Amino acid sequence: MTINDVSCYNEISMMPPYPIPKAAAILMTLLEDKGFEAYIIGGFVRDLLLGRFGGDIDMATNASTQQMIELFKDYPLSKIGEKLGTIGVKIMDQWIEITTYRSEGTSSNYRHPDEVRFIGSLKDDVFRRDFTINALAINIYGDLIDYTDGCIDLKKRQIKAIGHPEDRFQEDALRILRALRFSVQLGFTIEDKTSLAMIKSQDLIKTLPIERISVEFDKLIQSQHLEPLFKNYPELLKICIDFDPTHIQHIEQFSDKGLRYLCLLNHMNAEKIQNQLTHLKHPKSFVLKVSLLKILSEIKTQDRYTMKTLLGGYGKELVLLVLEYQKTLGMDGIDPLLMTELIKEDPCVSLKDLAINGDDLLKMDHQGKTIKVILNQLLELVMKDEIKNDKASLSQAVSRLS
Ligand code: CTP
């Protein structure tokens, strides 16, 4: 079925025929010239219809992986997904994944199909997919093929599972989180039966490897429309992260991902935050960042010297983030006006900011550990505004100190 009814496109940005990216067109032509079918399918088509460009391209074909390997032998190939029917082809600096039409059987571990059955038609292939809006395909001529009424759901701006929602989630529990993620990324609602099935099947999420949960949740947390999501699916989302909803209404005000996680984990101390984010397999640097933000966010001060020690110890970026956090949550914390003034002054807050260094002290006949001691004493005096940070004042102070 090829859709030519233009009324379908009222609220969809693009009209057919859809533009086929050159790299995909080359591969589709190679396949079709040998008598195979080839379609672009999935997220790329969904996004194209919504006027969003540039995502990864996935294709579906009736060629087997062996036939693809033979046909694309002049291109760099990735065979990691070969058993599941997928070959990656690198063309014009991008990887395109091409998968043989398939219909999975049921999954005993809710993640990977127990058996992959390769089948004859695109129509059968689309019914194994997760959501109607992800089952749209376009052919080489730019015609849209829509067997699951995905176009209608794009218009309705809703996420709807294909067929029986519970079956889709049994096949792959990650789809429960994908539904949430797409809804916040696209600003779509989740169709009632799909939503009920997600809640009913939510415990299946526990069977997923933590890395997969974390990648999906990380995309979700960086999107918009989060407040209703956390209110509508609290138990489900608690399986992913032990969040506290107290400040959820503020989360979207933060563009920094670290502040978004802090907003969710504000009820924990720095150590617990570290454990939670480490459990979610976040990089060490990110775990450290959020736990330092937590420590800083609990500091209250109007004292200029203390503020300088914060700038020296935590760095300007973290301090600015915490000012934003405390202001947004209405917390009593680091005096924002005084701190902003201080930052504008670009004060000396660390040894590297001092207008004198170890070499200068060597020339003044100081040696070894004494140099470090003197430099630290000078830094303290400068930070307390007791001496100026210029070479003459510092040299004079050195003679007084030694
Ligand atoms: N798919 C599926 N079930 C999954 C994952 C993927 O049915 N658990 C199907 C969908 O048709 C999806 C396509 O495979 O559109 C490609 O999946 P993927 O690249 O992971 O996601 P996209 O839908 O392309 O979206 P995004 O790139 O934004 O993650």
Domain final position from 345, 360, 387: 345
User: Which residue reads 């300088």 in tokens?
Assistant: 308
CA-closest residue to ligand 1 atom 12: 42
Best residue for ligand 1 mutational test, from 86, 96, 122, 134 (most atoms within 8 Å of Cβ): 134
> Left (φ > 0), alpha (ψ -120 to 50) or beta: where does 303 sit?
beta
Instruction: Specify the pLDDT at position 75.
Output: 97
CA-closest residue to ligand 1 atom 27: 43
Contact 39/145 with Cβ under 8 angstroms?
yes
Instruction: Specify the pLDDT at position 113.
Output: 57
CA-closest residue to ligand 1 atom 18: 43
- Beta strands (DSSP E) in 141-279 are 144-145, 158-159, 189-190
From first to last of its 402 residues, what are the pLDDT tens digits of the chain?
444 333 444 456 667 888 999 999 999 999 999 999 999 999 999 999 998 888 899 999 999 999 999 999 999 999 999 999 999 999 999 999 999 998 764 444 555 555 666 778 999 999 999 999 999 999 999 999 999 999 999 999 999 999 999 999 999 999 999 999 999 999 999 999 999 999 999 999 999 999 999 999 999 999 999 999 999 999 999 999 999 999 999 999 999 999 999 999 999 999 999 999 999 999 999 999 999 999 999 999 999 999 999 999 999 999 999 999 999 999 999 999 999 999 999 999 999 999 998 988 888 888 888 899 999 999 999 999 999 999 999 998 888 876
CA distance 198 to 45: 25
Contact 274/264 with Cβ under 8 angstroms?
no
Ligand 1 centroid from CA 58, angstroms: 9
Are both 133 and 39 inside the same structural domain? yes
CA distance 205 to 219: 16
Rounded to the nearest angstrom, the gap between the alpha carbon of residue 332 and the centroid of all alpha carbons in its chain is 31
- The binding-site residues of ligand 1, defined as CB within 6 angstroms of any ligand atom, are 42-43, 55-56, 58, 129-130, 134-135, 172, 174-175, 178
Residue at 218 is within a domain: yes
Are both 148 and 162 inside the same structural domain? no
Ligand 1 atom with the shortest distance to the CA of 56: 27
Residue at 20 is within a domain: yes
Residue at 48 is within a domain: yes
CA distance 327 to 294: 14
Instruction: Specify the pLDDT at position 399.
Output: 83
Any idea what the CATH number is for the domain that residue 176 is in?
Answer: 1.10.110.30
Ligand 1 centroid from CA 43, angstroms: 6
Rounded to two decimals, what is the model's pTM? 0.88
Listed in sequence order, the residues at least 6 apart from 166 whose beta carbon sits closer than 8 Å to its beta carbon are 197, 200, 201
Helix (H) or strand (E) holding 229: helix 226-232
Residue at 300 is within a domain: yes
Instruction: Specify the pLDDT at position 369.
Output: 87
Domain final position from 130, 156, 182: 156
Are both 73 and 116 inside the same structural domain? yes
CA-closest residue to ligand 1 atom 23: 43
Counting the structural domains of the chain, the total is: 4
Are both 32 and 146 inside the same structural domain? yes
Residue at 2 is within a domain: yes
Are both 32 and 152 inside the same structural domain? yes
Instruction: Specify the pLDDT at position 4.
Output: 36
Residue at 248 is within a domain: no
Best residue for ligand 1 mutational test, from 98, 110, 126, 130 (most atoms within 8 Å of Cβ): 130
Listed in sequence order, the residues at least 6 apart from 352 whose beta carbon sits closer than 8 Å to its beta carbon are none
Instruction: Specify the pLDDT at position 142.
Output: 94
Q: Which domain holds residue 116?
A: 1-156
Ligand 1 centroid from CA 120, angstroms: 21
Instruction: Specify the pLDDT at position 305.
Output: 96
Rounded to the nearest angstrom, the gap between the alpha carbon of residue 370 and the centroid of all alpha carbons in its chain is 48
Are both 27 and 94 inside the same structural domain? yes
Residue at 245 is within a domain: no
Are both 132 and 199 inside the same structural domain? no
Ligand 1 centroid from CA 134, angstroms: 7
User: Which residue reads 């398939």 in tokens?
Assistant: 102
Instruction: Specify the pLDDT at position 115.
Output: 63
Are both 331 and 217 inside the same structural domain? no
Ligand 1 centroid from CA 368, angstroms: 61
Ligand 1 atom with the shortest distance to the CA of 44: 24
Are both 164 and 222 inside the same structural domain? yes
Determine whether 343 is exposed, middle or buried from the number of CB atoms within 10 Å of its CB (0-12, 13-18, 19+).
Answer: middle
Are both 106 and 179 inside the same structural domain? no
Output phi, psi for 244, to 5 deg.
Answer: -120, 130
Written as six digits, the tokens of 31 are: 């396949």
Residue at 385 is within a domain: yes
Ligand 1 centroid from CA 42, angstroms: 6
Which has the closest alpha carbon to 132: 50, 59, 42? 42
Ligand 1 centroid from CA 303, angstroms: 53
Are both 151 and 161 inside the same structural domain? no
CA-closest residue to ligand 1 atom 16: 42
Any idea what the CATH number is for the domain that residue 90 is in?
Answer: 3.30.460.10
CA-closest residue to ligand 1 atom 13: 42
Contact 46/154 with Cβ under 8 angstroms?
yes
CA distance 267 to 248: 12
Of how many residues is the chain composed? 402
Q: Which residues pair with 189 in a beta bridge?
A: 158
Are both 111 and 207 inside the same structural domain? no
Domain final position from 133, 156, 179: 156
Instruction: Specify the pLDDT at position 65.
Output: 96
